[in-house]
């Protein structure tokens, strides 16, 4: 009994941390809904929970929040962010739901100053690389020139590590074959992420430090886009 009690306490604590991470999803959604209302420049973000900011302590410390803040400092102008990313989204969800929503914007997607896509983490182990490639090619062909596409983060543990790496390689192949797109090297930026200090309480999503890694992958290309129009 004395051995089981500390283990049970630890299990409950870990479960609490995981639930806390999951509970951040609705507040993030509300934050980005507010950011979609106004701004001098338009940033459209497509993807999954990484782009939504899950795991960060606040929206401003998510990878997207960091990049948007840097863009505003760089240009001296406000940025309207239409973040269509959804927790748990897969490439099929971006195709079927997010892309049509983006196309229905008052400002056409092709006229957005920055378009970013980061998807694939939830497809790892669920789609074969060939299936993922077919869907991603269709999605990337619909993105405007200059869109920034991230590959899949490096998984640090679990049964889907190899599958994530395979899909990340697919993303790079697809983007390189489309000169109108720009690759954000997310896998490279997240290589060696520390499980205890750079992941959130669910030990899957990045925490602030992990999001900073992803921001470093997206920021150079996104800021170059801003330089071209500012």
Beta strand segments in the chain, E: 41-47, 79-83, 114-118, 148-150, 182-184
Is the pLDDT at 205 greater than 60? The verdict is yes
Q: Mean of the pLDDT values across residues 61-66?
A: 98
Q: What is the CATH number of the domain that holds 198?
A: 3.40.50.1110
pLDDT category at 14 given cuts 50, 70, 90 is: very low
> Can you list the pairs that 203-208 forms with residues at least 24 positions away whose Cβ atoms lie under 8 Å?
203/18, 203/157, 205/21, 205/49, 205/50, 205/54, 205/55, 206/50, 206/55, 206/56, 206/63, 206/153, 207/55, 207/56, 207/57, 208/56, 208/57, 208/61
pTM: 0.91
Q: What integer pLDDT is reported at residue 25 of this predicted model?
A: 77
More confident site: 27 or 17? 27
Q: What integer pLDDT is reported at residue 9 of this predicted model?
A: 43
How far apart CA 178 and CA 181 sit, in angstroms, is 6
% residues pLDDT > 90 (the chain): 79
184 CB contacts (<8 Å, ≥6 apart)? 116, 118, 148, 149, 150, 151, 217, 218, 221
Cβ atoms < 10 Å from Cβ of 73: 10
Q: What integer pLDDT is reported at residue 4 of this predicted model?
A: 53
Is the pLDDT at 167 greater than 70? The verdict is yes
Residue 63's domain comprises: 4-229
Q: What integer pLDDT is reported at residue 162 of this predicted model?
A: 98
Residue range 136-165, pLDDT digits in tens? 999 999 999 999 999 999 999 999 999 999
More confident site: 94 or 16? 94
Domains: count for the chain: 1
% residues pLDDT > 70 (the chain): 89
């Amino acid at each position: 009994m004395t051995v089981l009690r500390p283990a049970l306490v630890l299990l409950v604590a870990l479960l609490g941390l995981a639930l806390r991470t999951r509970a951040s999803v609705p507040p993030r959604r509300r934050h980005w809904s507010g950011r979609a209302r106004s701004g001098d420049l338009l940033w459209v973000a497509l993807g999954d929970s990484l782009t939504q900011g899950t795991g960060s302590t606040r929206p401003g410390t998510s990878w997207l929040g960091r990049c948007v803040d840097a863009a505003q400092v760089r240009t001296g102008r406000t940025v309207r962010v239409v973040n269509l990313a959804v927790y748990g989204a897969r490439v099929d969800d971006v195709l079927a739901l997010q892309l049509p929503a983006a196309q229905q914007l008052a400002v056409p997607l092709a006229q957005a100053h920055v378009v970013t896509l980061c998807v694939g983490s939830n497809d790892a182990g669920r789609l074969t690389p060939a299936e993922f490639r077919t869907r991603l090619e269709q999605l990337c062909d619909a993105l405007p020139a200059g869109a920034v596409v991230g590959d899949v983060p490096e998984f640090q543990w679990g049964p889907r590590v190899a599958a994530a790496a395979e899909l990340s390689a697919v993303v790079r192949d697809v983007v390189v074959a489309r000169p109108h797109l720009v690759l954000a090297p997310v896998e490279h930026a997240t290589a060696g992420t520390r499980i205890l200090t750079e992941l959130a309480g669910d030990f899957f999503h990045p925490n602030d430090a992990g999001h900073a890694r992803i921001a470093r992958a997206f920021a150079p290309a996104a800021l170059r886009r801003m330089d071209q129009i500012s």
